[in-house]
């Protein structure tokens, strides 16, 4: 049974990690496409329209990869996690169906019109199709996170005699206090990814002295969007999300912050340290006294419960993984703010486009928002363990008893091989689009 649980979790973790490499770019990029198209309508400067069409090609490629890699996860609900689907399908099935029927079809339908219908529609209707693509992608994220929020903080449900969970208050699903902070935090993180991608491609063009006008536009846009989103992902959205954790999952908060013992007179914030779970302590830690209490409760002496105040049966199952994922996310977020602030200062001084070390940094930082987003989701998922639905359904009780660990391992290896090929194909196609650069055409 332990092997079955391990391989079921590994397979889902691998497939969803690879899948989310693509939606995190599309959600943020859809907003930037709308921005470029809006700028074109305001100024009638062709480069904004060309930029919108260029980035929509990248969006379309990411969207296609997201669809291909997202479908297997839906099947896993019925294969590896059949018991979870049986018990909770009356709740999570509603939001997942709404995401597929409304958001996905809205996004995919108007994506085609944006890519191929500019001459037919005219510029204003073309802008509306781009806006509807943006609306569909963000609505998709909202419905997925509504599902996730219910798993983190179940509300508006009742348990039937057969053990199944059903909604008795549909509105509670969308007024879940966990939902809005998590959603906005996630969307700001997706804008960070798209900002760094846009800025990195712009830096690539400037460093190679090609498509310089677009290089400057992409760097400027990426830096400005990146600065705003990097700040917002930390405060207020990250702060509100953390407050939800400490209110609804205090044992998770203690584990991700590395608090093994409750401290009287205020809790320190850990900058660096290695958790020693066996001995319940942090090794080689560097900490700042009382800061965590102030950030959490706005009081220097506020008490934050440590792991010692909870039964070990409800501890997160992978405390080191949770701790490191959280601190990697926070550390990278701090670096993002610093880099985008420095780049913005240079932009204001009109020296950014010729400051090569910043351009190289923007190019070098391209993969790190993906790492930050991934570790952010790992923080949320590892923090909820050992529960599939927090305090209601344990992960071990949600797997399919009839799917052997050998079958799951075999299909996991198949997914790894297939996704490796898909990843290489994506890099080749994206590289071809980027190397060719935006097409310069006159507006209609």
Chain segment 116-166, per-residue pLDDT in tens: 999 999 999 999 999 999 999 999 999 999 999 999 999 999 999 999 999
Q: 268, 334 in Cβ contact below 8 A?
A: no
The strand pair at 269-276 and 165-167 is best described as: unpaired
Please compute the mean of the pLDDT values over residues 170-199 and round it to a whole number: 97
Alpha helices in 44-122 (DSSP H): 46-78, 82-98, 105-116, 118-121
HSE-up of residue 99 (Cα within 13 Å, Cβ side): 20
Write the CA distances from 361 to 70, 194, 207, integer angstroms.
32, 16, 11
Round to whole Å and give the CA distance between 269 and 266: 10
Predicted confidence at residue 301, as pLDDT, reads: 86
Please compute the mean of the pLDDT values over residues 177-186 and round it to a whole number: 97
In this structure, what token pair is assigned to residue 150? 């219910």
Please compute the mean of the pLDDT values over residues 340-365 and round it to a whole number: 97
In this structure, what token pair is assigned to residue 140? 């998709």
- The CA angle 62-63-67, to the nearest 5 degrees, is 115
Q: Residue 386: helix, strand or coil by DSSP?
A: coil
Q: 408, 4 in Cβ contact below 8 A?
A: yes
Long-range contacts of 119-125 (CB under 8 A, 24+ apart): 119/444, 122/444, 123/40, 123/41, 123/49, 123/443, 123/444, 124/41
Please compute the mean of the pLDDT values over residues 406-435 and round it to a whole number: 95
Q: Residue 114: helix, strand or coil by DSSP?
A: helix
Q: What is the 8-class DSSP label of residue 312?
A: G
Q: 36, 48 in Cβ contact below 8 A?
A: yes
Q: Which residues pair with 393 in a beta bridge?
A: 389
Residue 332 pLDDT more than 50? yes
Q: Indicate the pLDDT class of residue 443, thresholds 50, 70 and 90.
A: very low
Round to whole Å and give the CA distance between 29 and 225: 11
Q: Is the peptide bond before 128 cis (omega within 30 degrees of 0)?
A: no
For 224-258, the pLDDT digits (tens) are: 999 999 999 999 999 999 999 999 999 999 999 99
Q: 350, 185 in Cβ contact below 8 A?
A: no
Please compute the mean of the pLDDT values over residues 402-423 and round it to a whole number: 93
For 250-261, the pLDDT digits (tens) are: 999 999 999 999
Across the chain, what does the average pLDDT equal?
94
Please compute the mean of the pLDDT values over residues 341-365 and round it to a whole number: 97
Predicted confidence at residue 355, as pLDDT, reads: 96
Round to whole Å and give the CA distance between 331 and 180: 24
Residue 178 makes CB contacts below 8 A (sequence gap 6+) with 149, 152, 153, 244, 248
**Which residue do the tokens 């800061």 mark?**
291
Residue 444 pLDDT more than 50? no
Q: 32, 225 in Cβ contact below 8 A?
A: yes
Predicted confidence at residue 75, as pLDDT, reads: 87
Residue 222 pLDDT more than 70? yes
Q: What is the 8-class DSSP label of residue 310?
A: S
* Environment class of 257 (CB within 10 Å of its CB; exposed 0-12, middle 13-18, buried 19+): buried
Q: Residue 265: helix, strand or coil by DSSP?
A: coil
**CA dihedral defined by 117, 122, 128, 131, rounded to 10 degrees?**
60
Predicted confidence at residue 442, as pLDDT, reads: 55
Round to whole Å and give the CA distance between 381 and 437: 38
Q: Indicate the pLDDT class of residue 1, thresholds 50, 70 and 90.
A: low
Q: Residue 424: helix, strand or coil by DSSP?
A: helix
Write the CA distances from 179 to 81, 160, 241, integer angstroms.
24, 25, 9
Residue 255 makes CB contacts below 8 A (sequence gap 6+) with 307, 315, 316, 319, 322, 323, 383
In this structure, what token pair is assigned to residue 207? 């460093």
Count CB neighbours of 231 within 10 A: 17
Q: Which residues of 278-308 are buried (b: 16+ CB within 10 A; e: fewer)?
A: eeeebeeeebeebbbbeebbeeeebebbbbe
Residue 321 pLDDT more than 90? yes
Predicted confidence at residue 244, as pLDDT, reads: 96
């Amino acid at each position: 049974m332990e092997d079955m649980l391990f391989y079921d979790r590994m397979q889902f973790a691998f497939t969803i990690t690879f899948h989310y490499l693509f939606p995190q770019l599309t959600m943020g990029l859809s907003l930037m496409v709308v921005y470029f198209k809006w700028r074109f309508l305001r100024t009638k400067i062709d480069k904004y329209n060309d930029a919108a069409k260029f980035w929509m090609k990248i969006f379309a490629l990411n969207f296609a990869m997201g669809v291909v890699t997202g479908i297997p996860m839906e099947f896993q609900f019925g294969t590896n996690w059949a018991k979870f689907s049986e018990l909770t399908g009356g709740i999570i099935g509603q939001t997942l169906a709404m995401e597929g029927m409304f958001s996905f079809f809205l996004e995919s339908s108007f994506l085609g019109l944006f890519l191929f219908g500019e001459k037919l529609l005219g510029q204003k209707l073309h802008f509306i199709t781009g806006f509807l693509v943006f609306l569909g992608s963000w609505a998709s994220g909202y419905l997925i996170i509504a599902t996730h929020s219910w798993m983190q903080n179940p509300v508006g449900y009742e348990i039937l005699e057969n053990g199944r969970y059903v909604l008795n208050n549909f509105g509670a699903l969308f007024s879940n206090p966990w939902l809005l902070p998590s959603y906005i935090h996630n969307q700001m993180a997706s804008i960070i990814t798209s900002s760094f991608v846009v800025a990195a491609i712009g830096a690539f063009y400037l460093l190679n002295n090609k498509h310089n006008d677009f290089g400057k536009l992409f760097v400027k846009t990426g830096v400005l969007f990146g600065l705003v989103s990097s700040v917002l992902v930390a405060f207020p959205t990250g702060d509100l999300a953390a407050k939800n954790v400490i209110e609804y999952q205090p044992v998770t908060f203690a584990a991700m912050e590395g608090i093994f013992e409750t401290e009287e007179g205020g809790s320190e914030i850990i900058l660096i340290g290695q958790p020693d779970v066996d001995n319940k302590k942090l090794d080689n830690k560097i900490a700042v006294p009382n800061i965590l209490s102030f950030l959490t409760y706005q009081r220097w002496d506020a008490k934050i419960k440590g792991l010692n105040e909870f039964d070990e049966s409800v501890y997160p199952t992978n405390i080191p993984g949770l701790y490191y994922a959280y601190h990697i996310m926070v550390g990278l977020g701090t670096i993002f703010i610093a880099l985008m602030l420095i780049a913005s200062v240079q932009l204001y001084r009109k020296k950014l486009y010729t400051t090569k070390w910043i351009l190289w940094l923007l190019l070098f930082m391209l993969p790190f928002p993906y790492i930050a987003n991934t570790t952010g989701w790992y923080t949320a998922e590892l923090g909820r363990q050992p529960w599939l639905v927090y305090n209601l359904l344990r992960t071990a009780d949600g797997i399919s008893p009839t799917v052997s660990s050998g079958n799951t391992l075999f299909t996991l290896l198949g997914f790894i091989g297939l996704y490796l090929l898909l990843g290489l194909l994506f890099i080749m196609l994206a590289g071809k689009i980027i190397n060719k650069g935006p097409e310069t055409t006159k507006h209609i």
